[in-house]
Structure 1
């Protein structure tokens, strides 16, 4: 699957509509009870890139980006302004934001993850497109140094330590991240008259598994 490690212009994604989508199969039994199941382990996010267009310059930038991706052919990075940090939305990422694993004296590579909590329930989301230069790592509440103690693969979200963390040592991380997406259409329809009338094109974008 083709993927371009380039971010959709953040100025155009700001103000767009979108968010997580789940797939739930629901069967109503004869007694009125329901059986519910899902084939998806992770949510899939959808967005509309057309909503945020504010000028003809924005339309020009969108069309250029769309053509460079060959429509649906190549994936790209998308900044979800409502969920792009390891911690609180208004806080700077801190190396203690997320616990991503524990040392075992052997493993050196760890996947970045983000845990969503509500009551006693949790959902763990793999983070596969961290933003370069934003990842901070810690071992037992001590911050490590990128390039000295660890390296980050921004194309996969895998952090590799220079030495395996000691057994039972908590590994924590803070970061900003993008969502891997593609256009969900091979056609963009725009017109000057429609745009001047306040109408914007529908430009669906959907998350992809990488």
Structure 2
């Protein structure tokens, strides 16, 4: 799949609407009870980039970005302003934010994860597009240094230790991240008159599996 490691202008994604969606298959039985199942292990996010348009200059920037991606053909990075950090939105990422693995004495490569919790239930989301320079790792509660103790593949969201963490060692991480997306349309409709009157173009964006 064609993908450009470039972020959609963050000032244009600010103010956009969107979020995660799930696919649930619901079958209502003759007795009124339901059977529910999902073919998706992970949620998929959708956004409308048009909401963030505020001027004709913004529209020009959008069109340039759209044309450079060839419409739906090529994926790109998207900053989801409502969910782009490993911890609380009000705080900078810390190496203690997320437990991503437990050492086994052999494995040196681990994927970044973000775990969502509600009561007893959890969901672990793969983080495949961390923002360069923001990843912090910890081992057994102590901070580590990128380049000295570990390296990061910022295109896949995988971290590699120079030495395998010992068995039972807690591996933690903090980071900022983007969402891999593509345009969900091959058309951009704009109107100068309507835009100046306050109507923004509709620009659907959808998350892609990478």
TM-score relative to the length of structure 2: 1.00
User: Runs of 5+ in structure 2 lacking a partner?
Assistant: none
Matches within 5 A, 1:96-107: 96-107=96-107
Shift of 1:58: 0.3
In the other structure, the counterpart of 1:184 is 184
Cα deviations across residues 113-138 of structure 1 (Å, max 9, x unaligned)? Answer: 00000000000000000000000000
- The secondary structure found in structure 2 opposite 1:50 is helix
SS at the partner of 2:51?
coil
Q: Structure 1 CA distance, aligned partners of 2:132 and 2:59?
A: 27
Q: RMSD between aligned alpha carbons?
A: 0.4
Q: How far off its partner does 1:197 sit? A: 1.4
Distance (whole Å) between structure 1 residues aligned to residue 74 and residue 47 of structure 2: 17
Compute the displacement of 1:194 (Å). 1.1
Report the Cα offset of residue 38 of structure 1: 0.3
| Matched residue, 1:76 | 76
Hey, which bits of structure 1, 4+ residues long, moved more than 4 A? none
- Equivalent position of 2:47 in the other structure: 47
Contiguous gaps of at least 5 residues in structure 1: none
d(CA) in 2 for partners of 1:6 and 1:92?
22
SS at match of 1:72: helix
Matches within 5 A, 1:1-210: 1-210=1-210
SS for the counterpart of 2:114 is strand
Aligned length: 210
